[in-house]
Structure 1
Amino acid sequence: MNLEITRTEPSAPVRQFTVLLSPTRRGARLARLLTTAQLADWGLPSASAAQIVAELAANAASHGRVPGRDFRLDLVVEGAGERLRMAVTDTRGDRLPPSAAIPPALDSECGRGLLIVEALADRWGVTAGPVPRKTVWAELDLVP
């Protein structure tokens, strides 16, 4: 008798969080607070992630704002828990950030958000589209 046993490993549960927020300072603050709460619920560290989301959301509220159109925050744990991807999508695809963070003038009061993202994230970038959207994303490795 030839008995064949096939074992299937349950796949890791997908951990994903998505929310639409108003493109305002209040919406950007709420994005940071929701990130902290969601990552705590998942049992993940949140300090760097919350700061990254705060910067991405602030940029969406100030540079990606279109009256009447919300921005979207996505948090996804990818690769069997190896990586946290944070993405903010706004409706100003015509206004792409630079592909590399550029230091502002020393006396400038703004322009350091992407420098902070670049310093904290393991990877970050911009994905254009679909029109009229753009997504600015950042990833944190969760395992050394």
Structure 2
Amino acid sequence: MTKQSECKPSEIIEDFINLIAKSHEEYETNISIAKGYDSKTITWIHDFETANDYDERCKLATALHKEREIRRKHKDRAKLFQKIHEFAGQERNKQVLKSLKWLLSEQRKQEEYLESDREFKHRVGDDGNGDTN
């Protein structure tokens, strides 16, 4: 691997922390949308009940089918992030996440130090050739 294609450890840690943060919004938003579609079920039943003919029921069925597909996408997206969301919400894991944020800060400092222009300074009495006079 070349140095350009390698990820820094801090980038991997940061990506994980961002995933945890993103999981809350993704889960909450998508589960809310899916529940919104679920709450419209009674309305759909009433619409079918009052539909006067076959063509009207077909149009309703097609519209309901499309809506249920959208609902399924949101529900699946919520399920994708559910376990991460639950993990991060547990009290015992909050300390782990806090420690990861501290680790990220320390790792960045270390990487900045290693990437900086460092100079070796000879000790007193060391001429740089290994001879001490």
TM over 0.5, yes or no? Answer: no
**Larger Cα Rg: Structure 1 or Structure 2?**
2
Which protein has greater RCO, CA pairs closer than 8 Å, 6+ apart?
Answer: 2
Q: Kindly indicate which of the two structures has a greater share of residues assigned to helix.
A: 2
Structure (1/2) with the larger strand percentage: 1
